[in-house]
A and B are shown apart, each in its own frame.
Chain A
Amino acid sequence: MKIKYKLYIGSLLLAINFLFAGVCIWRFPDKDIQTLFSKATGYKTEVLTYSKPERVKIESLLGAKLDDDETQFNFYRIYKDTTKIGLVLTHSVKGQYGAIEVVVGLGSKFDSATKSNKVFIKNLLIQRDREVKSKDLRSSKFLDQFIGKTVKSKFDNITLVSGAEKSTQAIIFSVRKLLIVQKVLDQERVKQNK
């Protein structure tokens, strides 16, 4: 009987080793989607993993290593009926008093200069945190500073929340990471497929 159990555990561990993944879940998609994309009628979940060169590229653009458990990213494509109108990405980052979970809504518009779609932040929200300055971090005064930013934007003009500088920096890092992940795993793959 013990052998059977060992076989069972072995199978689980083997499968786990091949397939491990750490994903920040979108806790309230049906509710948040109203805030992020008021015209949305649905969303499709995609789970994207990256190749070694893609990881190197993400880390080089970010200037930091991906977390050990960041082996895949959930992409939530937002639809109005059958038309794609945006994308939502989520990320969990360590704040001053535990994890801060960021939900970013991305839109895109055609850029005639580069003759390609430019992806920008349409809206964002904090879905979970335990920060003492939570109210300020969730305020539109703070979060609106991110709207319109693209992967090429500078973030050093964001006014930090006083008394929560570490957490503000963590949110900025999180948003930048998601923009870079979108660029490498989504935009560049589409370009390559063309």
Chain B
Amino acid sequence: MKYRFILLICSLLFSTTLFGAVDINGAIDTRLEITDFKDMMYSLHGAELNIKYTYANEGGDRLLAFIQIPYSTHYKSDMFLEHFGDAYLIVKGSLKQPNIRIGRFDIPFGLIKTFDSHTTLLPQLFDKSLGLKKDIGAEVFGFYKMFTYDVSFTQGFNSFDMPRNDKPITARIGIETDAIKGGVSYLNATHSTDGEMKRISIDFEKNINPFVVRGEAVLGKYPDGKGFSVMLDFPFFFGIEGMGSGLLWKDNTNYQAYGIELRKDISFLTIGIGFTQTKEIANKNQLVFQTIIKI
């Protein structure tokens, strides 16, 4: 099954080069993690190949297919399909009309929508506040003047391997101007044991050049919880980019995390170093050296 799948993907890769609107890129992300200054682990954190194909008719682009094929040394063999990244189709409306996305994608909640946390070494609030980032389902999205809107209907958490059928409905209304980006999000899922899970979030991103500040506050019920996160992008020396972050999530435990990361792009290569301290039941310090080869 897997070999056939790999063969299919490789055939697809080579055949797509014959056509015009195919964009292929990838990345290999390796990490050396040192926990509490003693336990050391080197891993291929992620390798991925991203293929985007656009179909157009006489009036313009109408269909966009995107598939992300990831790999990591910490995947188990029987979880091959579960670890898929994004895999979706976008049916594009005419300009100003709503678009429809079907497949597996990032749910439109809070900073998940506007901040790409794909390769960051810093902890993210959604891990605690939602427990998910990607889900399978359908989404309607678009914009009107300076406002953006997104509504998604998805299957439920851990949907590939253990469908819980929580069927979250997620919605976000955002504003995007040169001065500020922000939004209000709402998620409602029928949780099998705790009743209806509800989450509301307010997020923002503001350029105070050369700095970028972004943050998010989340309040929720079933299970009850509240928290916030703040991030600051800053330029360091010699073209090195920096980011600092702090987050707090309070439910039946108090989770706190602080971190800083520095990264430098050198042609195809990104070199990063990150330090995070998390406090939950016990404190944990983690130093990570990261190398990303971009393709």
Residues of A participating in the B interface, judged by any CB pair closer than 8 Å: 1, 4-5, 7-9, 11-16, 18-23, 28, 30-31, 33-34, 40-48, 67-69, 72, 74, 79, 81-82, 94, 97-98, 129-132, 134, 138
A14 CA to B295 CA in the complex, in Å?
Answer: 11
The answer to whether B6 and A8 touch across the interface, beta carbons within 8 angstroms, is yes
Of the candidates B3, B47, B94, B295, which one forms a contact with A42 in the assembled complex, judged by CB atoms under 8 Å apart? B94
Q: A-facing mask of B27-57, CB < 8 A → 1, else 0?
A: 0100000000000000010010100001010
The number of residues on chain B lying at the interface, defined by a beta carbon within 8 Å of a beta carbon of chain A, is 49
What DSSP secondary structure best describes chain A's contact surface? mixed
The answer on a CB contact under 8 Å between A45 and B56 is yes
Q: Which of A14, A42, A68 has the most CB of B within 10 A?
A: A42
Closest 4 CB pairs of A and B: A42-B60, A97-B210, A20-B295, A44-B56
Pair B210/A44 contact, Cβ less than 8 Å: no
Contact B95 A11 (CB under 8 A): no
- Please name 12 pairs of A and B residues whose Cβ atoms are closer than 8 Å in the assembled complex, sorted by A: A7-B6, A12-B49, A22-B294, A41-B94, A41-B95, A42-B59, A44-B54, A79-B60, A129-B209, A130-B209, A130-B210, A138-B178
What string of 1s and 0s marks CB contacts (under 8 Å) between B147-159 and chain A?
A: 0000000000000
Task: Tell me the chain B residues, 162-202 only, with Cβ under 8 Å from chain A.
Answer: 176, 178
A2 to B59, CA, bound (A): 48
Q: What CA separation (Å) do A30 and B95 show in the bound complex?
A: 6
| CB of A140 to closest CB in B, whole Å | 13
Is residue B24 contacting chain A, with contact meaning CB distance below 8 A?
yes
Are the C-beta atoms of B49 and A68 separated by less than 8 Å?
no
| Residue pair A44, B209 in contact (C-beta under 8 Å) | no
Contact between A30 and B47, CB atoms less than 8 A apart? no
A194 to B202, CA, bound (A): 56
Q: Which of A9, A21, A132, A134 is close to B23, meaning CB atoms less than 8 Å apart?
A: A21
Evaluate whether A131 and B210 lie within 8 angstroms (CB atoms) in the complex, with A12-B71, A67-B267 already known: yes
Q: Known contacts A43-B61, A45-B54, A132-B209; decide if A23 and B95 are in contact (CB<8 Å).
A: no
Give the CA-CA distance A74 to B241 in the complex, in Å. Answer: 26
**Contact across chains for A40 and B95 when beta carbons are under 8 A apart:** yes
In the complex, whether B132 has a CB less than 8 A from a CB of chain A is no
B60 touches A43 (CB 8 A): yes
CB-CB under 8 A for A4 and B77, given A16-B295, A44-B56: yes
- How distant is A178 from chain B, measured CB to nearest CB, in Å? 18
The interface residues of chain A lying within 8 Å CB-to-CB of B294 are 22, 69
Q: Are A21 and B95 in contact (CB under 8 A)?
A: no
